[in-house]
Amino acid sequence: MRDVTMIDQPAPREGAGLVTLQPEGWPAPRGYANGMMGRGRVVFVGGQIGWDAEGRFADGMVGQIAQALRNILAVLAAAGGGPQHIARLTWYVTDMEAYRENLKPLGRAYREVMGAHYPAMAVMRVVELVEREALVEIEATAVLPE
C-alpha cells in the first residue's frame, strides 16, 4: 500500500471536515484533488445543468458551468451545506474541445462560485444530455458535519 499524505484544503472553513488525500511522490494536482476524506452526513446532488430556476440556459460552456455550480450550491444549501463540504464533482460535457479551449475562463468562473475549494473531480465527454441545450451536467457528493 502506498503512503498517503493528508493535507488540508487552502483556508478551510470552520466545520468543513474534509481532508485532501495526496499520495506520496505524486505531483500536486491543479484545480482538483486526487481524493477527499470526511466524516458526517453525506449529501448526493443529482446532475445539475446550466439553467436557472425559470429554465433559462446561460450562454456558452463557461456560463452553463457557472450556473450548474450555482445550482449545486442551492441544493446543498437546502441541506445546510456550502462549497467547502463538496468532496466530489463529476462533470459530463458534450464538447471536450470547448471545455479545453475555455480552461482559463472556466477556472475563473469556478473560483467565483466555489472559491478556492478543489474536491476530487472527473470530467468526461458524453454524446448528449437529456436537455438539448445543455452543454454540461455536474453531479456532486458532499459531506456535512454531524
* Domain spanning 39-144: CATH superfamily: RutC-like (3.30.1330.40)
Q: Tens digits of per-residue pLDDT, 97-131?
A: 999 999 999 999 999 999 999 999 999 999 999 99
Give me the pLDDT at residue 17, please: 80
Predicted confidence (pLDDT) at residue 10 exceeds the cutoff of 50: no
Q: Give the CB-side neighbour count of residue 142, counting CA atoms within 13 A.
A: 26
Query: C-alpha angle with apex 30: 89 to 13, nearest 5 degrees?
Result: 65
Q: Tens digits of per-residue pLDDT, 15-68?
A: 468 889 999 999 988 889 989 999 999 999 999 999 999 999 999 999 999 999
What residue segments make up the domains of the chain, in order of their start?
Answer: 39-144
Give me the pLDDT at residue 18, please: 87
